[in-house]
Amino acid sequence: MHQFLTTTSLPIRLTRLFVGLALYGVAIALMIRGNIGASPWDVFSQGMSRTFGLSFGVWTILISGLVLLLWIPLKQRPGFGTIANALLVGAFADLGLALIPQATQLPLQLASFAAGLFILAFATALYIGAGLGPGPRDGLMTGLVRVTGRPVWLVRSGIELSVVVLGFFLGGVVGAGTAAFALGVGPLTQLTLKWLHVDLHGKTPKSQMVDLDNPDKLQAAEQN
């Protein structure tokens, strides 16, 4: 299992990436349909949508582009996975919102939100571990982890708590689930990163430096 999770095989890594992105979008939809408060980044997207129009998913994509600008001072380098994340998560979220019904009973609301929160943390570790470039938001997280040396849970929670304030003032939906997400996503992400053998503090393995446009590099990495 460890070998599967750390393989340099490009098809497997691409599978991890796209499955992770699909699960991430579905997770967002599950939490929103729980109707007990959106996650901080989704509060921001909701606020932008309510203030300026366009769909939730479209604003998720646009915000991803804005977040990429914050990578510049952190000297983060986007990869194929970064661009895929920026373009696809919002689309999968809109698809999930179209297919998943609104939860109306409290037990179902809690179950929907809790499932979304865990799936999102797992999806985060899944596509980061693919080694094809983190998503815009998680690249911000990993960049700050690298620069500050702080633990994942502290950096992630700090980002989420900051974003929700801006989203709230733009009219996004804030509730008990928002606080639960801000406090819980960091520890859950750190746990799932460990499960999937992703080390943000270690040196980047050769398998994660592979360029999709240079397949010869993949073969060389596998031979080493």
Q: Which pLDDT does position 96 carry in this prediction?
A: 95
The burial class, CB within 10 Å (0-12 / 13-18 / 19+), for 93 is buried
Token reading at 69? 């600008």
* Count of beta carbons in the 10 Å neighbourhood of residue 131: 23
- pLDDT tens per residue, range 70-104: 888 888 888 898 899 999 999 999 999 999 999 98
Lowest mean pLDDT across 15-24, 89-98, 164-173, 198-207: 198-207
**Residues spanned by the domain of 119:** 2-223
- pLDDT tens per residue, range 103-128: 989 999 999 999 999 999 999 888 88
Q: What angle do CA 1, 131, 86 make, to 5 degrees?
A: 125
